[in-house]
Amino acid sequence: MDHFTYKNGLLHAEDVAIADIAATVGTPFYVYSTATLTRHYTLFTEALSPLPHQVCFAIKSLSNIAVLKTLGDLGAGMDVVSIGEYHRARAAGIPGDRIVFSGVGKTRDEMRVALTGGIRQVNVESEPELRALSEVAVSLGVTVPITIRVNPDVDAKTHEKIATGKKDNKFGIPISRASAVYAEAAALPSLDIVGIDVHIGSQLTDLAPFEQAYLMVADLTRRLRTEGHDIRRLDLGGGLGIPYTRSNDAPPLPLDYGALIKRTVGDLGCEIEIEPGRLISGNAGLLVAGVIYVKQGEGRDFLILDAAMNDLIRPAMYGAHHDIIPVIEPAAGVEQHPFDIVGPVCESGDTFAKSRPMPPLAEGELVAFRSAGAYGAVMASEYNSRPLIPEVLVHGDQFAVIRERPTFDEILKRDTLPIWL
């Protein structure tokens, strides 16, 4: 469910007309709904209650500081995978003891910043990282809480580029080696083993792979405890999928996911952590674009938008589907016509949809990409020297620009000329 609906024939974000935002900030832009972010976060906390738990929002999906503060004010922790994301979380007022540091390639410099600033735990992904982290902690004179991410070799049945729990993926340590790695961790100075971490992939639309992985984590918890480790926290990762079409897909709900967690690991007396990104942010955002031209091709017609692959890379990168709807509600029963929906970038990969049935649209009219809150703005680039587009946050009948569109002056002055030019 989200808060983007037609009211009196006009698409709204909560109580704000999308056309009013467009008139103020220009197109294209991203817009997020506070009510939807809040609802999705709350669904998880309700689903995990009464287990002791901490929901850590995966910042990688949507990292605007205003969004992080919205969630942080509700009690959310954050899952960060770079020190840049750590700085964002801190700038949003999230205390260090609610920030989890994940990722396969944390550098010593990044570790130093996180350990100095405060961290809930570091999720370690390899033996060399374990040793590096121990060295850094010793040098700072602190003890760092850790989990070790295990790779359960489970098929998450999702797009191959976002599956992370198979043994040929770069993530985690093979679960078969867990005893040895935990023993090494226990012997290293300044590390405090608090638990186990697992994350098998993103956009999972079936609970079975989660169940498989979590049962393995439950077994591992019991085994590591008999080996003397005080396993008291389980980080179960993110990955719960969202519906990308209004009609035909209905992935499991957070409530079902919570019930699965209780069934598989609920009796272990552990604090449960999860790291959802997409389910919280995905359907809380739209990408709004204007139609530049309606162009007749040979045997196909093109809708050329002012948004492009640099603004939303998911269709080009993963062949992802996003529903695209007109901002003015089409009259009931209006005839639809198939369009290839494209951006202005100079490659054919800059195609959002092929032969997509759309109601009649004219130059200057607005369309909205649904489910664009997650992995939209955060994956944008300035390819073709197109400025990063603004982000807007709606709250009831108010809206605010939470990231400005940069001016060309600002963009150009980042380049500098060497002395010989």
Contacts with ligand LLP, residue ranges (CB under 6 A): 58, 60-61, 79, 102, 162, 164, 199, 202-203, 237-239, 275-279, 314, 318, 374-375
Nearest CB to ligand LLP, comparing residues 160 and 227: 160
Nearest CB to ligand LLP, comparing residues 238 and 326: 238
Nearest CB to ligand LLP, comparing residues 14 and 79: 79
Query: Do residues 60 and 86 make contact, with C-beta atoms less than 8 angstroms apart?
Result: no
Q: Which helix (H) or strand (E) holds 222?
A: helix 208-226
Nearest CB to ligand LLP, comparing residues 326 and 376: 376
Q: Whole-number minimum distance, CB 103 to ligand LLP, in Å?
A: 7
Could you give the CA distance from residue 58 to residue 68 in angstroms, rounded to a whole number?
10
The SS3 call for residue 58 is: strand
Q: Whole-number minimum distance, CB 421 to ligand LLP, in Å?
A: 38
Q: Whole-number minimum distance, CB 170 to ligand LLP, in Å?
A: 11
Could you give the CA distance from residue 279 to residue 254 in angstroms, rounded to a whole number?
9
- Cβ-in-10-Å burial (0-12, 13-18, 19+) of 302 comes to middle
Could you give the CA distance from residue 417 to residue 207 in angstroms, rounded to a whole number?
54
Q: Which of 284, 278, 214 is nearest to 51 (CA)?
A: 214
Q: Whole-number minimum distance, CB 235 to ligand LLP, in Å?
A: 9
Query: Do residues 47 and 207 make contact, with C-beta atoms less than 8 angstroms apart?
Result: no
Q: Which of 297, 362, 283 is nearest to 43 (CA)?
A: 283
Contact partners, residue 122, CB within 8 Å, separation at least 6: 100, 101, 106, 111, 114, 133, 144, 145, 146, 147
Nearest CB to ligand LLP, comparing residues 61 and 134: 61
List, by residue number, the catalytic residues: 346
Q: Whole-number minimum distance, CB 238 to ligand LLP, in Å?
A: 3
